[in-house]
Amino acid sequence: MDKQRLPLPEMRDDKHRHKQFNGHLDSNRFRPPKYKTRYTIFDNNNLNRSQSLGSCSAANNSSQVAHAISFRSGSECPDAGILPASPNASTSMCCNESHFEQCFERLAKLGEGSFGEVFQVRDRSDSQMYAVKISKQLFRGEQYRAERLEEVRRYEEFSGHENCIRFIRAWEQYDRLFMQMELCRESLEQYLYRCRQISEERIWHILLDLSRGLKSLHDRNLIHLDIKLDNVLIDDDDTCKLADFGLVIDVDKANNHQATEGDSRYMAPEILQGQFSKAADIFSLGIAMLELACYMDLPSNGQLWHELRQSKLPEEFINTISVELQQVIRTMMSPDPQLRPTADQLLAHPRLQRIQKEEKSMVTLKLLSKCFRRSRRAVWIKICNLKTAAYRCLFYILEFLHLYKPLTASQSSGCGNNAAAPSSPSSSMLGVPRVEFQLVGSTPIGNRDCYVSDFLSSIDNLELSQQGTPTACGREKLVNSTPLNHHHNKSARLRSCSARKAQAENSNLLTVDASNSRANLSAPKVLDSSSFLRKKLFLLDSDEE
């Protein structure tokens, strides 16, 4: 879909804080494109229809249908113009639920401004929490509707910036605009009322966040015109984000009569003369910082209002903050817009530069520690492999010296096979005890301690024996002895288990009682493997990364 630009708002009939400037009606206004939805909603019982009396589109059936609103091109975002089907769409259609009610569970009201009410909601499809702003006034005409929809364009434009609110989607239904966005913890105003005293360090961080957000707007030649504590939101990471793009205008295209002033408490003095520039946003940010740093109640008119715009800042307030911060606020609030710093100049302030450097070094530190953890893990794995290789070598040497014989498949298949005594060459070496077990597996890779048993296919594989031990017949007497590859033999397992328990108190290392072996050839030899089994070989790094 082609990106279509709406004309800038000219007229505003909000009675509270927003005034209209030399309103001209543009006859060439066009409706923003409407998009297909996957389903139709027939009526709305939940929104106050009485307000729609006299509305331009009250009789318009298309307003009953939820339409996705997006100014993104199809290539940019293919499903921008499609509303997702709600999880219970089929049942909800017959219940006449609005798209909002079908898709979201309304949990709480987060706030209210001149244009909309904002609710905390849970998305029924993914159970995630979001904020949904619902316009208060019904669309009274094409122009009013176009003005409201312009906010969607701005949200879409700035959604990617980390200091601007993340926008999800918007739709219209029953002559109202619905905007789904990320849920923030609170507004900066709520934060100020909650904390009262905000540390200066935190104020500098907030100034940095907002200067970054403002820079992203000003770099596009857009001005916010409604910078105030209530329009700054704080997310769970304590990052401040610019919100409420309802009054944003394009400096290049807007004439003075097309702009609308924001909250008078934060308004730059030149706005009264109809001068709208980026410097007006800097003034608003400056006075917001004054309010934040000094916990000062800003006047919306009167003598103090004028004094604040003539560089006369009340001493009892301004003296409570450092000279460095005072200077920044004073320059931002200069009566002459030319003397105010730009967003870039603010970001170049030594204090903000220092914070940015600290942030960068923190990021580098995080990256380095991540790299370190990864390489440490790689080294551990290498060591594991080396240990495996070392054990293999050891067993090869033992085998070479006829001290160890690996089990063959037939030997390991069950105890019945063991009844037939193996006729290995070592059987001729009387008196030399042999350790028999199957060495299976290599480096265990997992986030846990590694034991010798990890190198073996099962615990039973480590059961030890002596060459020539009468296995089948002497099994009852054997403790931890020859060959016990009885994976399916429950009784054998139980035995070996109890045997290990019994040996837990015995020696610590793998020992073969060689001295006794000659004398007790017929008797079962006990080879303590318990401690060997339990001996921790190495500890793998538990870090997942």
Ligand X SMILES: Nc1ncnc2c1ncn2[C@@H]1O[C@H](COP(=O)(O)OP(=O)(O)OP(=O)(O)O)[C@@H](O)[C@H]1O
Q: Which helix (H) or strand (E) holds 240?
A: strand 240-242
**Angle formed by the axes of helices 188-195 and 278-294, to 10°?**
20
Token pair of 457 as six digits: 């296919």
The verdict on whether 226 is a catalytic residue reads yes
Question: Which one of residues 244, 263, 291, 528 is an interface residue with Mg ion (CB under 5 A)?
Answer: 244
The Cα–Cα gap between 154 and 364 comes to 33
Quick one: what does residue 110 bind among ligand X, Mg ion, none, with the CB cut-off 5 to 8 Å set by partner type? ligand X
Indicate the residue among 114 and 334 with the shorter CB distance to ligand X.
114
The answer to the question of residue 114 lying near ligand X (CB under 6 A) is: yes
Indicate the residue among 86 and 231 with the shorter CB distance to ligand X.
231
Question: Which one of residues 37, 63, 231, 517 is an interface residue with ligand X (CB under 6 A)?
Answer: 231
Radius of gyration of the chain (CA): 38
Stretch that binds ligand X, among 61-69, 242-250, 468-476, 527-535 (CB under 6 A): 242-250
Q: Provide the 3-class DSSP secondary structure of residue 113.
A: coil
With beta carbons less than 8 A apart as the criterion, state whether 502 and 496 touch.
Answer: no
Indicate the residue among 228 and 495 with the shorter CB distance to ligand X.
228
The Cα–Cα gap between 116 and 134 comes to 5
The answer to the question of residue 443 lying near Mg ion (CB under 5 A) is: no
Stretch that binds ligand X, among 230-238, 404-412, 493-501, 513-521 (CB under 6 A): 230-238
Q: How far is the CB of 116 from ligand X (least distance, A)?
A: 4
Question: Which one of residues 246, 341, 433, 524 is an interface residue with ligand X (CB under 6 A)?
Answer: 246
Distance of CA 191 to CAs 183, 197, 266, 295, Å?
15, 10, 18, 11
Question: Which one of residues 11, 65, 80, 110 is an interface residue with ligand X (CB under 6 A)?
Answer: 110
The Cα–Cα gap between 217 and 285 comes to 14
Q: Which of residues 403-442 bind ligand X (CB under 6 A)?
A: none
CA 313 to chain CA centroid, nearest Å? 41
Q: How far is the CB of 115 from Mg ion (least distance, A)?
A: 8
Question: Which one of residues 103, 152, 181, 279 is an interface residue with ligand X (CB under 6 A)?
Answer: 181
Strands 435-436 and 404-405, bridge-based pairing: parallel
Indicate the residue among 223 and 439 with the shorter CB distance to ligand X.
223
Size of residue set near Mg ion by CB under 5 A: 3
Stretch that binds ligand X, among 228-236, 249-257, 326-334, 442-450 (CB under 6 A): 228-236
The Cα–Cα gap between 459 and 480 comes to 11
Indicate the residue among 301 and 423 with the shorter CB distance to ligand X.
301
With beta carbons less than 8 A apart as the criterion, state whether 102 and 110 touch.
Answer: no
Indicate the residue among 213 and 433 with the shorter CB distance to ligand X.
213
Query: Which of 123, 175, 226, 244 is flagged as catalytic?
Result: 226
Q: How far is the CB of 228 from ligand X (least distance, A)?
A: 7
Q: Which amino acid is at 191?
A: Y
Q: Which of residues 309-368 bind Mg ion (CB under 5 A)?
A: none
Q: Which of residues 121-160 bind ligand X (CB under 6 A)?
A: 131, 133
**To which residue do tokens 């039973």 refer?**
460
Q: How far is the CB of 172 from Mg ion (least distance, A)?
A: 20
DSSP secondary structure of 165-205: PPEEEEEEETTEEEEEEE--SEEHHHHHHHHSS--HHHHHH
The answer to the question of residue 183 lying near ligand X (CB under 6 A) is: yes
The answer to the question of residue 231 lying near Mg ion (CB under 5 A) is: yes
Site mask, Mg ion, residues 111-130, x = CB under 5 A?
Answer: --x-----------------
Taking CB atoms, the residue at the shortest distance from ligand X is 113
Q: What DSSP designation does 269 have?
A: G
**Residue 357 marked as a ligand binder:** no
Token pair of 239 as six digits: 């990052």
Size of residue set near ligand X by CB under 6 A: 23
- Helical ranges in 334-435 per DSSP H: 343-347, 350-400, 409-412, 415-418
Q: Which of residues 354-373 bind ligand X (CB under 6 A)?
A: none
Question: Which one of residues 26, 230, 513, 541 is an interface residue with ligand X (CB under 6 A)?
Answer: 230
Token pair of 232 as six digits: 């700054």
Q: Which helix (H) or strand (E) holds 90?
A: helix 89-94
Quick one: what does residue 187 bind among Mg ion, ligand X, none, with the CB cut-off 5 to 8 Å set by partner type? ligand X
Q: Which of residues 500-539 bind ligand X (CB under 6 A)?
A: none
Strands 404-405 and 232-234, bridge-based pairing: unpaired
Question: Angle 227-230-233 (CA atoms, 0-180°, nearest 5)?
Answer: 95
Question: Angle 386-392-396 (CA atoms, 0-180°, nearest 5)?
Answer: 145
Contact residues for ligand X (CB under 6 A)? 110-116, 118, 131, 133, 165, 181-184, 187, 226, 230-231, 233, 243-244, 246
Q: Which residues are annotated as a binding site?
A: 133
- Active-site amino acid positions: 226
Which residues in this chain contact Mg ion in the complex, by CB under 5 A?
113, 231, 244
Binding residues for ATP: 133
